[in-house]
Amino acid sequence: MIPLKDYNPTTRRAWITLGLILINVFVYFLVQPHGQGNIDPQSEAVREAKFTYAHAAIPCEVTHGHPLTLAEVQATVNNNDQNACADASDPSSPEVFPHKNVYLAILYSMFLHASLLHIAGNMLYFWIFGNNIEDRMGWIGYPIFYLVAGLVAAASQFAVQPNSTVPVVGASGAIAGVMGAYLVLFPRVRIRALIFIIPADIPAYVLLGFWFLFQFFTSPTSGVAWVAHVGGFLFGALIALIFRNHLRPPRTRPNLFYGAT
């Protein structure tokens, strides 16, 4: 199911959501290296890999507190050893990016994406569900919630795969937090979605519930950090449950799936 829009209007401009989307798009197209127009795809792939390893969060680096060594990167890239950190690496092997701040990389990763499809899907979900959560949480609480959701999502992934040497990128963990909050605050709001190729209006709890359950059926070889999605989603739902009576009310009434007016 692919969401297209929700029937949950706001009268407050979603400037924070829009700003975060623009930052993600800016970073993807103007900061991250890609191969558009390059006559040597192999060298471009190397440049992309160097950028990712230099800036993205990597579980092994975070759990051990230092950047990957050359031996660990080579084992990951050349031998597809995704847990090279767990091996007895050569102690004389130098760190590839010795000045990398492995903890700030967690924040950087929230604005990096692996492909055009990756960022397009994330930003679509973010725009549909983010504006209403911003409407309820306000311009101060909302960005704090978003960033913390992203950190919790990353921590969830690192806890399950502490020795992974594969970079973890994308805003989907933080966006999952937004979706979890949406499920609690607007469970019956209608969502226009594509079910296969057929557009239909379904309640938010159906779409978001399906999305959440689908994470547990994600293939281990897909490259999707599904544990981060689950962690972010549960965090967002929990925060919304705790604070929903203290959030500011929406200025307009959402159009519910049942009894809509």
Structure confidence by residue, pLDDT tens digits, 106-126: 999 999 999 999 999 999 999
- Ranked by mean pLDDT, the top range of 21-25, 33-37, 197-201 is 21-25
Residue 158: pLDDT over 80: yes
Q: Is the pLDDT of residue 42 over 70?
A: no
**CB-count exposure of residue 103 (10 Å: 0-12, 13-18, 19+):** exposed
pLDDT value for 176: 98
Task: Note if the pTM is more than 0.85.
Answer: yes
- Give the contacts of 238 (CB within 8 A, at least 6 positions apart): 180
The CATH number of the structural domain formed by 2-243 is 1.20.1540.10
Report which of 98, 86, 22 is spatially closest to residue 54, judged by C-alpha positions. 98
Indicate whether 210 pLDDT > 70. Answer: yes
d(CA 247, CA 184): 12
Average pLDDT over the chain reads 89
Chain-centroid distance of CA 183 in Å reads 17
- Residues above pLDDT 90, as percent of the chain: 69
